[in-house]
Structure 1
């Protein structure tokens, strides 16, 4: 892990198009700003881990095709 010291209003760059700026320090909290292309997803780590776990669970589930047909009122192709 790379550890950098920054003062308020100083930034670091990740690659050519992601900038992380230290905005404010209050007590034990640090507020940062992230400038990145909209195509780059940005999540808090706890949310990211939750998404990953839900994706793993969804990938392991079998799909009940008949239940889906009934839910959407369709009878399928004949």
Structure 2
């Protein structure tokens, strides 16, 4: 992991087409602006974790087995 220090208004560039800029710092919270192409998915990590836990709970509750998951993955082309 690369760790960088940035001040308000400063930015970093990732690749050729993603820019992350510090747009505000308030009460210990840093607000970032991200400029990226529409085909780049930007999702907060806590939302991914929440969905993953919810999916795992559903699998346990409904008794979905590995074969069902493999079949669904093949059907979805994953």
Q: What TM bracket, shorter-length normalisation? A: 0.5 to 0.7
C-alpha distance after superposition, 1:7-46 (max 9, x if no partner)? 1111001111110000011121001000001101111111
- Which residue is equivalent to 1:26? 26
| TM-score normalised to structure 1 length | 0.64
Aligned residues between the structures: 62
CA RMSD of aligned residues (A): 2.2
Secondary structure (helix, strand or coil) at the match of 1:31 reads strand
CA distance in 2, matches of 1:5, 1:45: 21
Q: 1:52 Cα deviation (Å)?
A: 3.8
What's 2:46 paired with? 46
CA distance in 1, matches of 2:24, 2:45: 20
Stretches of structure 1 lacking an aligned partner (at least 5 in a row): 64-78
More helix by share: 2
Larger Rg: 1
Q: TM-score, normalised by structure 2?
A: 0.64
Measure, in 1, the Cα distance between the counterparts of 2:12 and 2:31: 14
